[in-house]
Amino acid sequence: MRITDTADLWWKTAVVYCLDVETFLDWNDDGTGDFAGLAQRIDYLAELGITCLWLMPFYPTPDRDDGYDITDFYGVDPRLGTHGDLVEAIRTAHDRGIRVIVDLVVNHTSDQHPWFVQARRSRDSKYRDWYVWVDEKPENEPAPVFPDQEDSVWTLDEPTGQYYLHHFYRHQPDLNVTNPAVRDEIARIVGFWLALGVSGFRVDAVPFFIDPLGESPEELPDPHEVVRHLRAFLNRRTGDAILLGEVNVPYEQQLEFFGGAQGGELTLQFDFITMQNMYLALARQDAEPLAKALQSRPPIPGECQWGTFVRNHDELTLDKLSESERQEVFDAFGPEERMQIFGRGLIRRLPPMLDGDRDRIRMVYSLLFALPGTPVLFYGEEIGMGENLDVGDRNAVRTPMQWTSEAQAGFSRSANELAAPVVAGAYGPQQVNVEAQRADPDSLLNFVRQLISRYRNSPELGWGDFAVLEQPHRAVFAHQVRWQDETLLAVHNFSPEEVSVPLDLGTDVSNAQLLDLLGTDNQTTDEGGRAEVSLGRYGYRWLRVVDATTRRLR
């Protein structure tokens, strides 16, 4: 397979794995995961096949928002270890061919950060303009991100008599990126972590980061200038580091965050639109919503990429669906009120949502890796972990990694309270754990390993031109990707009914072999480039087009 000069753009065909150090492995048995534990599990990640490790926030924090309320952007929370422990984990990952990216959470700080502590002491403080203050609350204000927790984005600071802005919690005041001193400080933060060996950043809540006032302020006529400058700084320091952005907006606006047709801003963005429509398609057992979402993706610069995912560390948001569509997904996968959050999302993991249906779960992960883009996994997905609804809110899916069948899931041997309670019941460690699945060749863990291997050997999925193939079966999603001499077809059945899928690939692939990448059922197209593919209940196939006579890729 020819990759030529594309090899430097490593993230186009990466497999990203997100984890929270706090809940991954407790090595000193104090109840909290740590970097020493992570270093011990790098070999597991290498065995899985991931190529990029994304670390959720590990900075010093009061921990009122799972580490996203930060008091020192240059530090390591002492519960998790030291800078030395972090560097050791990064170095170990690099030795196994795994890059590391970290969360960049610079849209706000903790209210206990020294900057804000000093800013609220006086209107004349050096750090006053590092945050956003008004004398009177504006009449028209944006809605809080967490409407069940906050009724306004402005909170009165009584000692100085002004209101400060916080799109998230009131204990997370927004930074003022219109201030050049703040932008310079963000660049220093980025430079610091690059110097310690990270390969980029997952940028939290980018729309709030670039536009803290909810509108373009006069001091910064073009709010995207912040991201452009950050990307330029990143490129000067290291040519291949990335910015992976959390940008949950309509596609047209997402294109702006790539930097438009010319690029120059975010390297990758999560594809929230595709994710949400995938769940609608699953609920309906109808592939049409997914096909429409993917076909509505705007063309993006060649050096940019979409990040595809099934689950992330936050709520499974459905905010871009219509109210009736969202209700369909709620009815199918989260009918109880305790499974829902903010009126717009779910706090569940995939296996319980699909009632543990083995075929359906595997179909979804096959789809994830077959979609054009860079797949992102949330820790525990590879073994089919469930959620803990008793914890509630977004922490329901942030439970300890389940390594063994022991009571504390092999996560810790501490007699103290754990950083988070272990999942109980049908998805507890007795039923779902790494140790048992490693020994079972037919486990979900080994299936995901196979998918990662096939994806890594199919660069067209990251680089190729994508097209949906028309189908008479509403439940079937069929698509192809082409790049250089390679063509890969993928077909997925969203229903429990067996179907026979007609494929019409055109005369340029006449008499070609369709090599089954996930099995042994190879087929051959006829002179017109047609073939018939059988799919079982929730079936899936990856088929590579190969010349039947020369065995060369087509």
Under 8 Å CB-to-CB from 162, ≥6 apart: which residues? Answer: 123, 133, 134, 135, 156
User: Quick one: average pLDDT of 371-400?
Assistant: 96
Task: Kindly state the percentage of the chain with pLDDT values over 90.
Answer: 88
Summarize pLDDT for 138-160 with one digit per residue, the tens.
Answer: 888 888 988 888 999 999 999 99
Q: Out of 174, 246, 381, 460, pick the active-site residue.
A: 246
- 508 classed as catalytic: no
- Single pTM value for the model: 0.96
Cα separation, 370 vs 310, in Å, equals: 13
User: Quick one: average pLDDT of 504-508?
Assistant: 88
Summarize pLDDT for 204-257 with one digit per residue, the tens.
Answer: 999 988 865 544 445 555 778 899 999 999 999 998 999 999 999 999 999 999
Cα separation, 147 vs 408, in Å, equals: 34
What is residue 551's predicted lDDT score, i.e. its pLDDT? 52
Pair of tokens at residue 464: 């190729």
Query: Domains of the chain, with CATH numbers?
Result: 11-107+177-456 (3.20.20.80), 114-165 (3.90.400.10), 461-547 (2.60.40.1180)
Looking at every residue in the chain, the average pLDDT score rounds to 94
What is residue 485's predicted lDDT score, i.e. its pLDDT? 84
| Number of other residues whose CB lies within 10 A of the CB of residue 151 | 8
- 485 classed as catalytic: no
Q: Out of 204, 314, 325, 387, pick the active-site residue.
A: 204
Of 388, 380, 284, nearest in space to 338 by CA:
388
User: Quick one: average pLDDT of 406-428?
Assistant: 97
> DSSP assignment of 147-181, as one string?
TTT-S-SEEEETTTTEEEE-SS-TTSPBB-TTSHH
Of 368, 379, 381, 378, nearest in space to 275 by CA:
368
In this predicted structure, the answer to whether residue 4 has a pLDDT above a threshold of 50 is no
Summarize pLDDT for 454-463 with one digit per residue, the tens.
Answer: 999 999 999 9
User: Quick one: average pLDDT of 451-474?
Assistant: 96
Distances (CA, A) of 82 to 71, 88, 508: 16, 10, 59
Q: Which residue type does 91 have?
A: R
Cα separation, 146 vs 368, in Å, equals: 29
Answer whether 414's CB lies under 8 Å from 53's CB. no
User: Quick one: average pLDDT of 86-92?
Assistant: 98
What is residue 139's predicted lDDT score, i.e. its pLDDT? 85
